[in-house]
Amino acid sequence: EEKVEYYNVKLDRYINRLKSPVSSFSSSSIRNDNAMSLDESSSSMVRNEHINVNLDAEDGDNVSHGGRVNNSDDSHDSVLPNDLGQNFANLSLSNTYRPIKTDQLPSFDGKYANWNSYKIMIENLLIKNDMISEDLKKSMLLKTVKNEPERIMSILIGQRLSLTEIWSKICAKFNDPQRAILEIKNDLKLIPKIESENEVNNLKRAKDIVESANLAINSLETDVRFYTTNLIQAVAEKFYYKAQRRMLAKIKTFEELVKYVDQIYEEALLYDYNKIKKNPYDGQRKSLNTAAISTELNLCLVCNKNHKNNFECLKNFSKEAIVNIIKTKGLCFRCLRRGHTGRDCDKITELACDKCSRRHASELHDVVQHFFQSIPKTMLSNETNTNVNKNSSQQTSELGSVAAINAFDQPENIFEVENISKHENRPIIYGLCNGHNSTMLLDNGSNISLIDEDLVVGKDKIKSNNRIVSASPLGGIGTSNGKISLIVQNNMTKIIIDLFPVKMNDKNLIIVGTDNLSFFFEDRPEFLEIPSIFGNIRYKVRNNINQTCCVADVLNSYESIEDEDEEDVDEKILLCRTDNGRYEARLPFLSELRPSNNFKKALNVLKNLNNRLKNQQMLSEYENQLMNYVNNDQAEEVDDPNGYFLPHHPVYRDSSSTPIRVVFNGSFGFDAINKFLWKGEARGLDIFEHLIGFRKNKFAVTADLSKAFLQIMIHPDDRKFLKFMWINSEDQLKIYQMKVLPFGLISSPAILTNVTQKLLCDENLEDIANSIYMDDIIWTSESESELIFSIEKVKMCFLNAGFILHKVHSNSEMLTSKFQSDYSEETKVLGTIWNTNEDTISNVFPKWNPVKTRRDLLAIIGKFFDPYGFLDPWKLKLRLLYRQTIHLDWDAQIPNDIIEQVENHLIDAEKLSDLKMNRYLPADGEIYGFSDASASAYGYVIYIRKNEQMHFLFGKAKLAPSKAQSIVELELRALYELGKILYRIHSIFTGPISIWSDSKVNLYRFNSSPNDQNRKVASQLMKTMKIINDLNILLRHVNGSNNPADLFSRITNTKQFLKKFV
């Protein structure tokens, strides 16, 4: 702000000087008479390029506006004759026009938010200054910029463009109000989280950031009202609930927000007692518990000698002598200085005794304890205090009341009584607690006293020797680890009570329970009575704090038990590497329990399986596949029938080489082994993340780990739980146990992914480790050489661990040449087809049977697997027809008219197999998301935009809910769904994001307060706005006819879909 003001003043001075009579000199008159007098010269004209202009009075090299550097001793460089130069010196023009120096010009670091202010000043000071040559302007302009502007400007100057062309290109580049708004929003995120209204330092930081943002907004040459709501919400998210609600509900402009933040900052200054009265730069408070009170003079008032403080000599005096010195010399018993009493000592907040935690020096503990102990709790007027007898004091001390406190320990928390209720249904006292309007409830139904923790100051001094749990309907549910002291006073009397600070639902509430209730009565009774028709009800109003807080010991014991449980839970898969390089894993059992022996059940299952295979004439083939485990040393024969037996069954495949496959079933039976195993955390199984990441870089490679599960060894102690049996051709029962990890256990995916992660991370290949989906490697890179190097290194790592990398496919010819045996033009990648020559992606086109039942219809919908979503609009028709059959049984015949519609929709479906999309998308492109809705469906589509070209990335179409909703509501839902998917995409494609919608109603809603809407709409708006703010998304309007998401919100047939999509 100071810099802007400085340049504005200089600019005004410069303009006024240009308008002064001195600037009207005539060059012709100078040439006619070089020897004119001073008065004559004052009315002449001088060529502008010879006038030296300087906006500063500093010394330095003078830059002539003809492009020269003029030094006082280089008279031969002067453009004017000597006599004319002498006349110029006599005119004292240097006092009117002093040269511009580069360090006096504004600077620009590439932040769009600062562009307009820089542009205005640099144009007036330099660009439009006719007194400076163009070459010098370029040089000076280049020195005022850095970072990206400096790079761009250097390139433009190197291309020998004129200053006008350079400046126009720079203006076109950085005059972008939308990006300026994004930068302002990012700056607003630097506001620290403000939890309460008394955080002065954080509020000061917030105030400065908001005011700076307001200056940047005001400098923008655009209407920012459209973005105001998003900016206000970005600020509101940093504030506590009350301020956040006020900002979202009441504040409409950013100027109002600046005033409101300034207001709450001023209020914090007024009510914050701890942070304002102390200098924040004093450093840490010195501890005074060990005689650390420094004296202003070296003379000790106790012993009349010179030493550091007044406490060093106390050990030489008895308690009685120290008391006599304090009384006779009028010393403060806290700091042993004159001029004030112990109650008014400025060291009271810094003192804390090590022995009793009260506010006096530890060296004076015995003195204060025996000679300065306050007797009564209640400190009434002087007349009342004199009537307090010693017995009542002793009784109070014996009872161990919660309120027992040293009278010299003045609490920081004060409640000023203003009014007492007379017509309420509860006994209530109204007043100010530490400057906040508060309510004090006298509650005889609570045995402890509570206070809202937001009212408490000096939380760092909470006495932590007690703990309490609050479960009051008024106070909410919370835990307090200490208590605070509170002075309750009016102009006549005051008392001190102890309360537990907790988080309350009712703000600014104080509940006085029976532990302190007696101190609100003159005679401080132990019991109170309530008259009733059944007699007087008598209840105790003073509790022992030890009895009240005895639950703390129980809670501590429970906490220790919970901590032990948490430490015992080991969520990691136990892995180790054997001497031959292979990994060995332990089965992650949930506890010490193990599955019981199931020999008989497994034998019955095996007999049924044999009979079924004989009938299908597949017994021999199945036996060959099963015995491969034994022949490949993946299973071993044993004789022990104890342990757990895994049932197994066949899975039939279309492959001619292996038409049948053996699968183990770890979930068979009531006591299945999968019920005893922990599932574990399987890493990298987010298929969406892999699909989007596969399209990021120019070069890509896919590979597969051959029989990956079977390459992981199982610890010998766990192999007895992985047994299986088989009846051979000689009707002999054979028992085997697996030596490796079978696929069929609930823990198998987690064990495999943990092995691959650990293997690659140990070799510093974390990026590739995150690109593995189960046993498939999907890796992309912008550098072909890096891709080749990485995949070769990965192959060797897996080979050393017993894994074989095969089926390597890539669009890199160099990499493909290294794996000739695996070459294929097309390969499957997560359910899609990748053509490596064309580098395109298409869907697998399925075959289907005629539709007769609801099950058949659902099967057809599922067969069109489309992970990128570009077939979603075409599938809407099938989904709508399926919705009409939802009331039927799975195998019930569906109506003929629905069958006919399905068949008509599938007539031209084969043409869909020709649809392809480019795999590679520019990683630095802009992300454009479009959304739309109709009465029957809603959806969205996402593109990557680069060099004026749009590349399809992802799409989604959904049927409208069965419950009728307006199109506006469906469009809002589409925007929310689009925001959620963009949140996931942004972690991969990090370019700027824009959301386009043709719904003006919803765009207006985002620019207004959510509180103006009903609860349902407001909730949807808030969730969407949070995503928009987190990702700095720009909201834009698009005409309905130009909205590509219109296709994803309409039910179309094949011909219409192909026409619009292409």
pLDDT digits (tens, 9 = 90+) for 274-306: 444 444 444 333 333 333 333 334 557 666 666
What type of residue sits at position 829? Answer: V
Would the pLDDT of 655 be above 70?
A: no
Check residue 965 and report its DSSP letter. Answer: -
Whole-number Å distance between alpha carbons of 271 and 274: 9
Whole-number Å distance between alpha carbons of 99 and 79: 16
Would the pLDDT of 786 be above 80?
A: yes
Chain centroid to Cα 57, Å, comes to 50
Would the pLDDT of 724 be above 60?
A: yes
pLDDT at 940: 96
For residues 730 and 70, which has the higher predicted lDDT (pLDDT)? 730
Average pLDDT rounded to a whole number, residues 24-28: 38
For residues 272 and 342, which has the higher predicted lDDT (pLDDT)? 342
User: Residue 753 has which token pair?
Assistant: 């992914």
Q: Which of 93-107, 521-535, 948-962, 997-1011 has the lowest mean pLDDT?
A: 93-107
Could you give the count of Cα atoms lying within 13 Å of 320 in the half-sphere of its Cβ? 0
Closest by CA to 1004, choosing from 972, 1040, 960, is: 972
pLDDT at 49: 36
For residues 555 and 592, which has the higher predicted lDDT (pLDDT)? 592
Residues 807 and 826 sit within 8 Å (Cβ to Cβ): no
Average pLDDT rounded to a whole number, residues 429-458: 85
Would the pLDDT of 116 be above 50?
A: yes
pLDDT at 54: 39
- Whole-number mean pLDDT of the chain? 76
Whole-number Å distance between alpha carbons of 235 and 220: 19
Residue range 840-860, pLDDT digits in tens: 999 988 888 889 999 999 999
Residue range 61-83, pLDDT digits in tens: 433 333 333 444 443 333 334 44
What residues contact 558, with CB distance under 8 A and at least 6 apart?
Answer: none
pLDDT at 996: 95
Beta partners for residue 714, in sequence order: 585
Which helix (H) or strand (E) is 778 found in, with range? Answer: strand 776-781
Average pLDDT rounded to a whole number, residues 584-606: 90
What's the sign of the alpha-carbon dihedral 958, 961, 966, 971?
A: negative
Would the pLDDT of 405 be above 70?
A: no
Residue at token pair 């014996």: 398
pLDDT at 825: 83
Whole-number Å distance between alpha carbons of 511 and 509: 7
Residue range 378-394, pLDDT digits in tens: 333 334 333 434 343 34
pLDDT at 840: 94
Q: Which of 99-108, 422-431, 761-770, 954-963 is most confident? A: 954-963
Q: Which of 160-164, 250-254, 642-646, 963-967 is most confident? A: 642-646
pLDDT at 461: 53
Band (pLDDT 50/70/90 cuts) for residue 746 is very high
Band (pLDDT 50/70/90 cuts) for residue 108 is confident
pLDDT at 1062: 64
Question: Residue 458 — left, alpha, or beta (φ > 0 → left; ψ -120 to 50 → alpha)?
Answer: left
Whole-number Å distance between alpha carbons of 231 and 253: 10
Burial letters 627-666, b for 16+ CB under 10 A, else e? bebeeeebbeeeeeeebbbbbbbbeeeeeeeeebebebbb
Q: Is 731 buried (19+), middle (13-18) or exposed (0-12) by CB count in 10 A?
A: exposed
Residues 1033 and 884 sit within 8 Å (Cβ to Cβ): no
Would the pLDDT of 99 be above 50?
A: yes
Whole-number Å distance between alpha carbons of 708 and 748: 11
Residue range 1028-1050, pLDDT digits in tens: 998 999 999 999 989 999 999 99
Pairing relationship of beta strands 926-933 and 993-997 according to DSSP bridges = parallel
What residues contact 263, with CB distance under 8 A and at least 6 apart?
Answer: none
Q: Which of 27-41, 168-182, 415-429 has the lowest mean pLDDT?
A: 27-41
Burial letters 915-945, b for 16+ CB under 10 A, else e? bebebbbbbebbbbbbbbbbeebbbbbbbbb
* Domains of the chain with bracketed CATH: 2-95 (no CATH), 105-175 (no CATH), 180-277 (no CATH), 284-373 (no CATH), 391-545 (2.40.70.10), 599-816 (3.10.10.10), 839-1062 (3.30.420.10)
Residue range 699-717, pLDDT digits in tens: 999 999 989 999 999 999 9
Would the pLDDT of 401 be above 50?
A: no
Band (pLDDT 50/70/90 cuts) for residue 342 is low
Percent of all residues in the chain with a pLDDT value above 90, rounded to a whole number: 27
Whole-number Å distance between alpha carbons of 451 and 439: 10
C-alpha distances out from residue 578 to 583, 798, 801, 802, Å: 6, 14, 9, 11
Q: Which of 45-59, 853-867, 894-908 has the lowest mean pLDDT?
A: 45-59
Cβ-based neighbour number of residue 110 at 10 Å: 17
Closest by CA to 702, choosing from 843, 796, 582, 823, is: 823
Band (pLDDT 50/70/90 cuts) for residue 554 is very low
Q: Which of 33-37, 160-164, 214-218, 955-959 is most confident? A: 955-959
User: Residue 958 has which token pair?
Assistant: 């959904």
